[in-house]
Chains A and B, each alone.
Chain A
Amino acid sequence: MSFSTPEREAAICPASQPPLEIACVGYSYGRRMALETVSFTVAPRSFTVLLGPNGAGKSTLYCLITRLYATQQGTIQIFGYDVNRSSVEALRRLGVVFQPRTLDLDLTVMQNLSYHAALHGISERQAKLRAHLVLERIALTARKHDKVRSLSGGQMRRVEIARALLHEPQLLLLDEPTVGLDIKARADILTHVRSLAMQEGIGVLWATHLIDEVEAHDDVVVLHQGRVLDRGKASNIADRAGATDIRMAFEKLTAESVVSGQ
C-alpha cells in the first residue's frame, strides 16, 4: 500500500525544489560554535546519511531544520519554503524522529498516533485509516491498544517512524534512530526507511555516528565539529580521501580536521 501518488506529490511538492536545502547555516551556543557554514541538499527519493561523531552538531542541525531553534546564519528550505519565514508550509511537509524518545509513554500506540494526527489537523476518520496503514506496515497492529511503555526499544522506534509518516510527509528526518537497539532491530529499521525512500519517493536524512549503516551508493554528508568535511556518494568520498571505504575515509577526514583545527 502506497501513500504517495504522482498527483499528490505534484500538488504538495514543487518538482523544481529539493526536499531539503541547507545553505551556509551557522549556529552558536554563546561563544561555542556548534555549526559553521553548513551547506548540503537532500534530493527526492534519496537516502542521505548525515555522518558525524557525537558532538558533531547533528542534533543542533535537526533542531534548526524543525524550527525548535531559529537559524542565526544561513537559510534552511523545505521544498523551497524557508523554515523561519514560512514555517507552516515547511513543517507540514516534514516528518521527524528525534534522538530522544518523544512518544507519550502513558498513552497507547493508537492514542499517540491520534494525537499526532490532531497536531497536523487531520480528521479522526482519516487518522484512524492512516494509523491502521502505518501500523500494518511496521507490523504492530496487534499492539495498537497497548501502552507505549510496554513496547521494546525497537518497537517504540518503529512507532515513532510510523507516527512521523502519518501526515504523509515528503521529507523524513531521523536523528540517530538506532541508538540503543539490538542488531536485528537496527537492521529492520534501516531496511524499512531505505524502502520508504525508494518506494514512496520520500527524501530521507538519516543522522548517525555508526558507519556500518552507510552503503556505498548512499549520499553522505560528513559533519565534524560543526563543519561539513565532505559530501557526495559514499564511494566518491572514499575515492577523494584516498581510502578503500567510507570508514577509512571518515577516519582520515576527521583526523585531518583535528590536525588542521589545532
Chain B
Amino acid sequence: MADHIRGWSDELARDPSSLVFIPLADTLRQQGDLQMAQKFVIRGLQRHPHNAEAHDVLARIMADLGDLQSAFDEWDMVARLHPGHVGAIKGMAFIRFQQGRHEEAEQLLMQAQAQATDADEAISSAIATVRKSVATQSLAALVGDPRRLYADILASDQAAMCVDKDGLVVAGAYYDADGTDVAHEIGASLSGVSGEAARATEHLRIGQWRSIVFETEAAVVGLSPAPAQGALDEGGLIVVAAVPDTPLGLLKRVLGKCLQRTRDWLAVGAS
C-alpha cells in the first residue's frame, strides 16, 4: 500500500491535474491519516470541482472527522452532479440517522433502494434498523408520559389503561363525562378480575382467558390480560372502553392494539 501511495504522490507531483488524488486521499483516509487525505482531496477539487467521486471521498473524510453536516453537504453535491448516485444517498441517510433524523434517513434509504440496480441487502438491513429505531424513539417519547401511551391508537370517544395485579394504574387514562381522570377508581374496582377469570376458566376447563367484554349503559368495556414482562407481574389488565354502539369486534381489535403497545412499551422499559 505504501508503494501505491508513493506512486500516486509521484504522479501527482509530475502532473498536478491527475485524478490519482482520489484513490490517494481515500487510501490515506482508510489508514486514518484524515488531515493529509483532506488536504489532497481539497487541492484536487480546486482543479476538478465537478468530480463526483472526489466529493464522495471528501464526504467520507468529513464523516470520519465527525463533521456530519459537511459530509452531508458533500454527498448532496455528489447527488447533484450524479443524480441517483446510490453511495451518496446512502451516505446522506447515514448522516441523518446519526443526527437522529430517523424519518429522513428512512426516506433516503428507500430512495437508495429504488435506485439500486440489484437487491442490496445492506440497504434493506439499514431500513429495518432505522424503522426499529423510529419505533423505539416514539415509545421512548411516550414513556415520558405513560398516560398518553395509547393516545394515537384510540379514537376520541375511546379510553384505555393498563393496571397491575393490585389494580394500580400503570399507563393510560380514563376521563369521565366531567373530564375527571377516574382511571385509579376503575383500576381499583377491577383488582382481582384477572385471578377470578383464571379461576373460572380453569374450573370450566376452557383454557386460558383471552378477553372479557361487557356492555354498560354508557360504554362497552373490553379487558384482556396484560403481558407479564418488564416491571409488570402476572395478573395485570388492559382495559379499553368505547361508546355503546361500538361493534364488539372493533373493540377487541382496539384491545389487541393496546395489548401490543403495552408489550412494546414494557420491552423498551426493560431494555
* Pair from one complex: no
Q: Which residues of B contact A (CB under 8 A)?
A: none
